[in-house]
Amino acid sequence: MAILVGLIVFVLKLIAYFLSNSVALLSDALESTINIVASIMMFYALNLASQPEDEDHRYGHQKAENISALVEGILIIIAAILIIEAAVGRLSDPIPLEDINLGLIISLGATSLNGILAWAMMKEARKSRSMALEGDAKHLFSDVVSSAGVVVGLIIAVLTGLYVLDSVIAMVVAVLLIRMGVEVLRKTTRDLMDATCEEEELVIVGVLEKNQDLLEYHDLRTRRSGTTVFMDVHICIDGKKTVSEGQGIVAKVEEELKVVVPGIVPNFRIEDETQCKRYKAEGKN
Ligand SMILES: [Zn+2]
Ligand SMILES: [Zn+2]
């Protein structure tokens, strides 16, 4: 559904560009192209990411989401470079915009269609609590705002006869796109590089600290794959406890962790007090 609306919006914006020959409207159309490619990719990636672990992917397939975001970020930046190239060519030699009125009306129609879609997606995202869908909806909202800005700018250009504004608007759109592309890349490379999940570690530490059975814990590590947090930790318990008791302690901690970090995949190494780093340092051992 989202892909179909995206396609219609894209075709409308392309018609608006060909009618008016405006680079600002071209930049708007290119942005729509990315939306469609990104939507299709995201659809495929989310589908793949939701597949359970299998023989050849024992940690699941969640990184598909990160790879999809990586490609999206690169596409956004390529589109921005194309827009800048087109706009710079026009800057020194602005040409009068043709049939701009019809182009603007078509563009406005496409933008309202996008607005309705963004609103529907936001509602759906709230209901399903999907991060990916919410990100998509927010992205679409920012498109609607920038498209509206393009139309307003072009109306001013036509009224004042300052056709150079067309190139200027296109470049502003390109700069906004680059900013967005860099942000998408920054976020997804963090996860691809197995960066620490700082927010989650705060609550994980809270759970570990308050557990009376743990003498201490150390070597806590977290990383994120798609939306899943993976975690490793060493926990020290009283060496005189039985294996079954140790297992019970781990099960309890695991349960508590899953409450504060939904979907977390924790991995524990049980050690006795001789492995305690803090106890050793304090000379208690
Ligand atoms: Zn697989
Ligand atoms: Zn250890």
DSSP code string of the chain:
-HHHHHHHHHHHHHHHHHHH--HHHHHHHHHHHHHHHHHHHHHHHHHHHTSPPBTTBTT-STHHHHHHHHHHHHHHHHHHHHHHHHHHHHHSS--PPSSHHHHHHHHHHHHHHHHHHHHHHHHHHHHHT-HHHHHHHHHHHHHHHHHHHHHHHHHHHHHHT-THHHHHHHHHHHHHHHHHHHHHHHHHHHHHTT---HHHHHHHHHHHHH-TT-SEEEEEEEEEETTEEEEEEEEE--TTS-HHHHHHHHHHHHHHHHHHSTT-EEEEEEE-GGG-HHHHHTT--
How close is the Cα of 235 to the center of ligand 2, in Å?
7
Looking at residue 99, its pLDDT comes to 67
How close is the Cα of 225 to the center of ligand 1, in Å?
15
**Nearest ligand (C-alpha, residue 278):** 2
How close is the Cα of 36 to the center of ligand 2, in Å?
49
Looking at residue 252, its pLDDT comes to 95
How close is the Cα of 179 to the center of ligand 2, in Å?
43
Residues of each domain in the chain carrying CATH 1.20.1510.10: 2-192
Residues of each domain in the chain carrying CATH 3.30.70.1350: 198-281
How close is the Cα of 54 to the center of ligand 1, in Å?
5
Pick the CATH number of 2-192 from 1.20.1510.10, 3.10.129.10, 3.30.1550.10, 2.40.50.140: 1.20.1510.10
Pick from 82, 45, 81: which is nearest to 227 by CA? 45
How close is the Cα of 258 to the center of ligand 2, in Å?
22
How close is the Cα of 247 to the center of ligand 2, in Å?
17
Give just the sign of the alpha carbon dihedral 132, 135, 83, 67: negative
Cβ atoms of residues 64 and 226 within 8 Å: yes
Helices 23-49, 100-128: crossing angle, 10 deg rounding? 20
Pick from 243, 256, 264: which is nearest to 211 by CA? 256
Report the C-alpha gap between 172 and 153 in whole angstroms: 11
Looking at residue 275, its pLDDT comes to 84
Report the C-alpha gap between 83 and 51 in whole angstroms: 38
How close is the Cα of 46 to the center of ligand 1, in Å?
14
Contacts of residue 251, defined as CB under 8 A and 6 or more positions apart, other chains included, come to none
Looking at residue 145, its pLDDT comes to 81
**Nearest ligand (C-alpha, residue 271):** 2
Looking at residue 111, its pLDDT comes to 86
**Nearest ligand (C-alpha, residue 52):** 1
Walk along the chain (285 residues) and give the pLDDT tens digit of each residue: 677 888 888 888 888 888 888 888 888 888 888 878 887 888 888 889 889 999 999 999 989 888 888 888 898 898 889 888 888 888 777 777 766 778 888 888 888 888 888 888 888 877 776 666 777 777 778 788 888 888 888 888 888 878 888 888 888 888 988 998 898 899 889 989 999 999 999 999 999 999 989 999 999 999 998 888 999 999 999 999 999 999 999 999 999 999 999 989 999 999 998 888 765 555 544
How close is the Cα of 53 to the center of ligand 1, in Å?
7
Query: The domain at 198-281 falls in which architecture?
Result: 2-Layer Sandwich (3.30)
Report the C-alpha gap between 285 and 281 in whole angstroms: 9
Looking at residue 285, its pLDDT comes to 43
Looking at residue 251, its pLDDT comes to 96
How close is the Cα of 185 to the center of ligand 2, in Å?
35
